Amino acid sequence: MEASEKHPVDQLPLQSGGAVRALGDKLVIEALTVNDERAAQFVRERAEAGHDPATTVASAIEVGARVLGNEQTAANVDYVKRELQDGLGSLNRELGETLEAGSSELAERLAGAFGADRSDSVQAQIKTMVGEHLDKRVGELTRLLSSDDASNPLVAIQMRATKAMLDSEERHRRQLTDIRESHSKESRGLQEQVAALREALGRVFEKQEGDERVAEAEEAGTRKGRSFEERVHDALEGLAEARGDLAIHTGHVKGEGGSKKGDTVVEIGAAEGQCAGKIVFEDKDRQLSKNKMREELNGALAEREADFAVLVVAGEERIPSGHEQLTEYEGNKIIVAVDPEEPDGLGLRLAYRYARLRVVMARDRSLEVDAAGVRDAAEAARAALKRAQAVRLAIGNIDTSAKKAREGIDGMIAEVESELIRIESLVAGSDGD
């Protein structure tokens, strides 16, 4: 019968607070709480005796399922038993009524048989009458129990029992249909939810992947810029220590205006005494336009309250268009190109010393400096530096002339050093006057 067939049910409402799924011949229980003191005590005692709690619960469910099945069978048997008892009671009543009617008829016939006008044997008459009566009643009873209509109590019992079983089967079939429909709806809903979730997760993963790529690119760019910035700061820190100045790394710190313009601030003389002025260095590993350069340097001057600004770029190809390195602009700005990997070369040293002298001269108005001499010395130093850089470039391309080129570089560097010493002596001489 259909009622005995197995129907897989993914989820059964067994207990609030949990979910029960019947998968084939297995039962899966998730987050289920059973509020039963005896059950909890039994599992606890078994666990204390060394039995696995999960095995105990599984055994209890198996035993309980068999008991419930037996109780259902017993209920069906009891129902049939009650129907038989009801039918037999009706049969007993009908037989009693029949026998009572027969007794009355028998009494009447006995009374007639024992009348004064009869002469035959009473015993014979009684035997004949009883036999006839019994044959009649047995025939009537046989016809009653063998009939196919509702007058037969056995047929009525059978009909009621059959109807009850059919009703039970119909209820069970409707329940299974409702469960299948509910499962089908839930399954479709879950499928839709899973599809929507997959789509949402796909969008999230795509966005996350895109964000990660952007973050990696930004991190790579930041890492590259910060690496160049850190190398320039290390070189400036060495130059500052040699002259009693103090180099402060400020590229990661916001200034008074709220921006991070100005990567290194050099406070002249601050390592040994009072600060005599400030130089701000802005480091860039990309080329800036003319307007962007002015914006960056003016912003750095204002943000760090400095007197002179130096733009340090990673290579000559990143010098802003229309500008030259080691040339003073607007009276407080200069550009220098350095090796991105080794920025502590002659160019940075010259820019540092030139900017330092310009700040010292601008701060001390009482100094009588040979301005023309300073400009000539600075121009000579810049020219020597450009020749040195040209020779350095030639070294990379002409291996056979490397020794001669190096000797030429050393001579040019000596010229630069001489011009710088000359500038510094002019300033010191004016201070002595």
pLDDT digits (tens, 9 = 90+) for 171-208: 878 887 877 777 677 667 767 776 776 676 667 666 66
The answer to whether residue 405 is domain-embedded is yes
In a domain, 67, yes or no: yes
Q: Are the beta carbons of 300 and 262 closer than 8 angstroms?
A: yes
Say what percent of the chain tops pLDDT 90.
25
* Residue 86 located in a structural domain: yes
Residue 44 lies in a domain: yes
Residue 3: pLDDT above 50?
no
Domain that residue 46 falls in: 38-146
Q: Specify if 388 maps to a domain.
A: yes
Decide if pLDDT at 385 tops 70.
Answer: no
Measured in degrees and rounded to the nearest 5, phi and psi for residue 24 equal 65, -120
Q: Does 110 reside within a domain?
A: yes
SS3 call for 20? strand
Task: Count CB atoms within 10 A of the CB of residue 188.
Answer: 10
Sign of CA dihedral 335, 339, 340, 341: negative
Given a cut of 80, is residue 1 above it in pLDDT? Answer: no
pLDDT tens across 30-66, in order? 777 888 888 888 889 988 999 898 888 888 888 887 7
Domain total for the chain? 2
Q: Which of 91, 120, 146 is the last residue of a domain?
A: 146
At 262 the pLDDT is: 93
Q: Are 281 and 236 in contact (CB under 8 A)?
A: yes
Residues 181, 396: Cα–Cα separation, whole Å: 82
User: For residue 188, which of 5, 32, 10, 7 has the smallest C-alpha distance?
Assistant: 10
For 124-136, write each residue's pLDDT tens digit: 666 777 777 777 7
Residue 165 domain flag: no
Q: Which two tokens stand for residue 384?
A: 């020597």
Confidence (pTM): 0.42
Alpha helices of 114-152 — where are they, by DSSP H? 122-146
Position 394 in a domain? yes
* 14, 32 Cβ separation under 8 angstroms: yes
Cα separation, 338 vs 327, whole angstroms? 15
Strand pairing partners for 21? 28
In the listed set 146, 180, 206, which residue is the last one of a domain according to the structure? 146
Residues 144-180: tens digit of each pLDDT: 667 666 666 766 677 777 788 888 788 878 887 877 7
Write out pLDDT tens, residues 223-253: 444 579 999 999 999 999 999 999 999 988 8
Residue where one domain finishes, among candidates 119, 146, 173: 146
C-alpha–C-alpha distance, residues 209 and 203, integer Å: 10
Buried b / exposed e along 270-298 (16+ C-beta atoms within 10 A): beeeeebbbbbbbbbbeebeeeebbebbe
Kindly give, in sequence order, each residue whose CB lies less than 8 Å from that of residue 56, ignoring residues fewer than 6 positions away: 42, 43, 46, 47
